[in-house]
Chains A and B, each alone.
Chain A
Amino acid sequence: MISSFQLILREMRHSWLNTCLSLVALIATVALLVGVHLLTAAAEREARRVSRDLGFNLRIVPLNTDPDRFFLEGYSDQTLPEEAVRQLASAAGTFLTFNHLTPALERRIRIQERDCLLTGLGHAVTGPGDKKQPMGFHIPLGQAHVGFLLARHFNLKNGSSLRVLNRDLVVEKVLLEAGTDEDLRLYTSLADAQAILELPGRISEIKAIDCLCLTADQDPLTQIRAALKKVLPEARVLQMRTLADARAKQRQSSENVTAFAVPMTLLAAALWVGTLSILNVRQRRSEIGLWRALGSDSGFIATLFLGKAALLGLIGGTVGYFVGTTVALQFGPHLFPVTAASLQANFQLFPKALLLTSAFAALAAFLPAMIAVAQDPAGTLRAD
C-alpha cells in the first residue's frame, strides 16, 4: 500500500545520519571531479597560452641547412617550397607527432641602415577536427608586429607606417620588451616576407609543436625524426629541447595528477558509500527479515537498497555538479588569470553527472544489496 519509492524516502529520512554521510561522499566526489574537469580544461588553455608565449619547440628546416650557420644566424639560409606544409599536414599520422604547423620565412635584412630580423608567418595548420586555436601570431597582409628595440629606433607606434625595402607596412602592434632577439624582429605575413625577400612560394622553415610530450630521457627526437623522414625527406627537424622538455614535463605533471587523483577519488568514494551501505544493511537486518516474512521477494529487497543508492546518486550528482561548478568558477580565475574569461560552466556535464553518479552509487551499493537479498531471515526473526 506504500510504494517502494515512498519507503526509500521515509527510510532515508529516518536514517538521516547514514543518508547525510553518503550524500557528503557523493557530493564531494562529484564536486571534485566536476571542478577538476573544469580546472583541467582551464589549465590546458593556460598552458597552451603559456606555451605559445614560450614559442614553438620544433623547427623543421631544409635538409641542406648548415647547423653551424643555423645556430649562429638563428635561421636557415636554405628554403623549402611552401607546399611542404600541406605535404606534411596531409600525411597520415603527422598530427600524432606534430601540431600547429606554421610556415615561416626568416632572413636578416637592413632597414634604413639598421639590421633586423624579418619573420614572415603563414597560417598555422592544426590537426583535422582539432578545436585548438592555432599558436603564434596571425598577421594580416600589409601589416606588421614590430619588436621593442626596432620600434624605439624608428619611433614606431601602433598604426605607424613603415617602408621595408620595396613594401609599405602598417604597424599593427609594437611588441613588449622581451630581452631576446625578439626585440629586433619584424613580423609580417608570409606573403609580405616572400615579396620583400623576392622568394615567392618559398619558406625557410616550418615551426611546430611536438605532440609526443616526452621528456628528453624518453628520446622523443628519434621518433620525431623518423616520422618526418617518411613524410618530408627533404627536411630535417631540430628540437628546442629546453622548451620541449618544459612543455612535456608540465603536461605530464598535469596528466599524472589527474590520472592519480581521479581513480583515487572514485575508489575512496566507492569504499565510503559501500561501507555506509553495509552498515545500513546491518542496521536493517530485522526489517529485511520482516519483509521476507510478509512475503516480499528478492527484487523488492534489492530495490530498497539499490533504489536508495540511485536516489542518493541523483541528489549527490545534482548538488555536486553545482558545488563543483561554483567552486571552479569562484577560484579558477585566480588560479588561471590569463584565460580566466574562458572559464565557464559546462552544462553538458550535468546529465552525465546525474547518470554516472546514480550508476556509481548503485554499483557501490550492489554488494551490500546482494548481502541483504541473501540474508537468512530466520536468523533475525527467531526469538529463542
Chain B
Amino acid sequence: MIFCSQLTRNFAPSAGSVLGISQVSFQANRGEFVVLHGASGSGKSTLLLILGGMLQPDSGTLSLDGFNPYALTRSDASEFRARTVGFVFQLFHLIPYLDVRLNVLAGLPAGSPDATSRAEELIQQLGLLDRQKDYPATLSAGERQRVALARALLKSPKVILADEPTGNLDPANAAIVLGHLDAYRKRGGTVLLATHGSDADRYADRILRLDAGVLVSSVSCSPTPTSPR
C-alpha cells in the first residue's frame, strides 16, 4: 500500500526549528496499523505530509496504492488524494463556518452516492448525533477530533494519515479515536499514526521511530484486541 525509499526533505534555514527527514525507507501493507514515534520536531509531520502528497520530497521514491502522487498533474494529484488519503490532524482543522454534519461531508464531491446516510451513520457511531447542528467553536476537543475522524472515514480512503490525533485529547476521547482507527484498519484500511506518546502502541502492527529526521528503528508487534466504544 505504502512503499517509500530514501525519502529526503530539507528545509531552508529560514524555516526555523522545523527539521526535515533524511533517507527514510519503509513499507506499510494494506490493513496494517503503523505507529510512528518521535519527539517533537523529529520529522513525523513532514513524513506524513510527504506520504499524503502534500509536500514534495527533495529525493527518494514513493508509491501510494501503486501511484507516485508527485508524478501526477496537480489536478490528478488532488483527485488521487481525495480518493486515496484521509487526514486526521492534531489541531483538527475543522471549517469554522460549517456545522458538524457539513464538516463531515466537506470535501466530498457533489453527488457522491449514499454520502448523507453514511455521514449520519458515522456521526451516530462517533457519538455526535446531538451535536450535528453545532459549530466547531462550541465543541470540546474530543468532539472536534471525532468530527475530523468522521470526515476522514467518510471517504473510505485506502490510507489514513493521522498526525498526533490524540495529542489534545483526554484518555477517554483518545481511546475512542484510536478504537475507531483500529476498526478501520480491521476493515482493510492502512493507518499511519504519528505520535510522541504511547497510547497507540497497543493497536500497532509495527512501530517506527524517527530521530532528527532519520528512521532509527522499525519493530513489528502484535496488537492487543480491542473494539471501538
What chain A residues lie within 8 Å of B87 (beta carbons)?
Answer: 293-294, 381
Interface residue A114 (Cβ < 8 Å from any Cβ of B): no
What chain A residues lie within 8 Å of B116 (beta carbons)?
Answer: 1
What chain A residues lie within 8 Å of B79 (beta carbons)?
Answer: 295, 297
When the two chains form their complex, are residues A2 and B106 in contact, meaning their CB atoms are under 8 A apart? yes
Question: Which of B27-35, B40-48, B124-132, B174-182 contacts its partner?
Answer: B40-48
What chain B residues lie within 8 Å of A286 (beta carbons)?
Answer: 91, 93
When the two chains form their complex, are residues B42 and A3 in contact, meaning their CB atoms are under 8 A apart? no
Query: Chain B: which residue is nearest A292 at the CB level?
Result: B54
- Closest beta carbon of chain B to A221's beta carbon, Å: 67
Query: Chain B: which residue is nearest A11 at the CB level?
Result: B97
What chain B residues lie within 8 Å of A15 (beta carbons)?
Answer: 97
Interface residue A219 (Cβ < 8 Å from any Cβ of B): no
When the two chains form their complex, are residues A378 and B97 in contact, meaning their CB atoms are under 8 A apart? no
What chain B residues lie within 8 Å of A3 (beta carbons)?
Answer: 110
Query: Chain B: which residue is nearest A380 at the CB level?
Result: B93
Chain A 340-384, CB within 8 Å of chain B: the 1/0 string?
000000000000000000000000000000000000111001111
Which of A2, A298, A378 meets B98, CB within 8 Å?
Answer: A2
User: Which residues in chain B, 56-87, are within 8 Å of chain A measured between CB atoms?
Assistant: 74-75, 78-83, 85, 87
User: Which residues in chain A, 280-304, are within 8 Å of chain B measured between CB atoms?
Assistant: 286-287, 289-298
When the two chains form their complex, are residues A383 and B98 in contact, meaning their CB atoms are under 8 A apart? no
When the two chains form their complex, are residues A14 and B97 in contact, meaning their CB atoms are under 8 A apart? yes
What chain B residues lie within 8 Å of A287 (beta carbons)?
Answer: 93, 95-96
What chain A residues lie within 8 Å of B55 (beta carbons)?
Answer: 376, 378
Interface size class of B (residues with CB under 8 A): 35 or more
User: Which residues in chain A, 5-45, are within 8 Å of chain B measured between CB atoms?
Assistant: 7, 10-11, 13-15
Query: Chain A: which residue is nearest B80 at the CB level?
Result: A295
When the two chains form their complex, are residues A10 and B74 in contact, meaning their CB atoms are under 8 A apart? no
- Interchain CA distance A286-B40 in the complex, whole Å: 20
- Interchain CA distance A347-B102 in the complex, whole Å: 41
Residues A382 and B46 in contact in the complex (CB < 8 Å), given A294-B82, A296-B78, A297-B75: yes
- Interchain CA distance A376-B115 in the complex, whole Å: 29
Query: Chain A: which residue is nearest B111 at the CB level?
Result: A1
When the two chains form their complex, are residues B90 and A1 in contact, meaning their CB atoms are under 8 A apart? no
Query: Chain B: which residue is nearest A283 at the CB level?
Result: B96
When the two chains form their complex, are residues B81 and A290 in contact, meaning their CB atoms are under 8 A apart? no
Interface residue B112 (Cβ < 8 Å from any Cβ of A): yes
Interface residue B159 (Cβ < 8 Å from any Cβ of A): no
What chain B residues lie within 8 Å of A295 (beta carbons)?
Answer: 78-83, 85, 107
Residues A2 and B93 in contact in the complex (CB < 8 Å), given A293-B52, A294-B82, A295-B79: no
When the two chains form their complex, are residues B45 and A1 in contact, meaning their CB atoms are under 8 A apart? no
What chain B residues lie within 8 Å of A296 (beta carbons)?
Answer: 78, 82, 107
- Interchain CA distance A310-B144 in the complex, whole Å: 32
- Interchain CA distance A107-B180 in the complex, whole Å: 108
What chain B residues lie within 8 Å of A290 (beta carbons)?
Answer: 93, 95, 106
Residues A381 and B46 in contact in the complex (CB < 8 Å), given A2-B105, A297-B74: no
Interface residue B18 (Cβ < 8 Å from any Cβ of A): yes
When the two chains form their complex, are residues B105 and A383 in contact, meaning their CB atoms are under 8 A apart? no
Query: Chain B: which residue is nearest A382 at the CB level?
Result: B45
Interface residue B163 (Cβ < 8 Å from any Cβ of A): yes
Interface residue B203 (Cβ < 8 Å from any Cβ of A): no
Query: Chain B: which residue is nearest A286 at the CB level?
Result: B93
- Closest beta carbon of chain B to A166's beta carbon, Å: 89
- Interchain CA distance A293-B102 in the complex, whole Å: 16
Q: Which residue, of A10, A287, A295, has the highest number of chain B Cβ atoms within 10 A?
A: A295
When the two chains form their complex, are residues B54 and A1 in contact, meaning their CB atoms are under 8 A apart? no
- Closest beta carbon of chain B to A198's beta carbon, Å: 88
User: Which residues in chain B, 140-192, are within 8 Å of chain A measured between CB atoms?
Assistant: 151, 163-164, 167
Interface residue B49 (Cβ < 8 Å from any Cβ of A): yes
Chain A 95-136, CB within 8 Å of chain B: the 1/0 string?
000000000000000000000000000000000000000000
Q: Which residue, of A11, A15, A293, A378, has the highest number of chain B Cβ atoms within 10 A?
A: A293
Q: Which residue, of B40, B49, B79, B108, has the highest number of chain A Cβ atoms within 10 A?
A: B49
- Interchain CA distance A287-B85 in the complex, whole Å: 17
What chain A residues lie within 8 Å of B52 (beta carbons)?
Answer: 293
When the two chains form their complex, are residues B96 and A14 in contact, meaning their CB atoms are under 8 A apart? yes
Query: Chain B: which residue is nearest A298 at the CB level?
Result: B74
Q: Which residue, of A286, A291, A378, has the highest number of chain B Cβ atoms within 10 A?
A: A378
Which of B80, B95, B96, B105 meets A1, CB within 8 Å?
Answer: B105
- Interchain CA distance A376-B56 in the complex, whole Å: 11
Residues A297 and B95 in contact in the complex (CB < 8 Å), given A1-B105, A384-B40, A384-B45: no
What chain B residues lie within 8 Å of A383 (beta carbons)?
Answer: 44-45, 89-91, 163-164, 167, 194
- Closest beta carbon of chain B to A309's beta carbon, Å: 17
Which of A13, A294, A381 meets B49, CB within 8 Å?
Answer: A381
- Top-10 shortest CB links A-B: A295-B82, A294-B107, A14-B97, A1-B105, A378-B55, A383-B90, A382-B45, A297-B78, A290-B93, A295-B81
Known A-B contacts: A293-B85, A382-B46. Give 5 more (CB < 8 A).
A286-B93, A295-B80, A295-B82, A297-B79, A378-B46
In the complex, 25 of the A-B residue pairs with CB atoms within 8 angstroms, ordered by the A residue number, are A1-B102, A1-B106, A1-B108, A2-B98, A10-B97, A14-B97, A286-B91, A287-B96, A292-B54, A292-B78, A293-B85, A293-B93, A294-B81, A294-B106, A294-B151, A295-B83, A296-B82, A296-B107, A297-B78, A378-B55, A381-B49, A383-B44, A383-B163, A384-B18, A384-B41
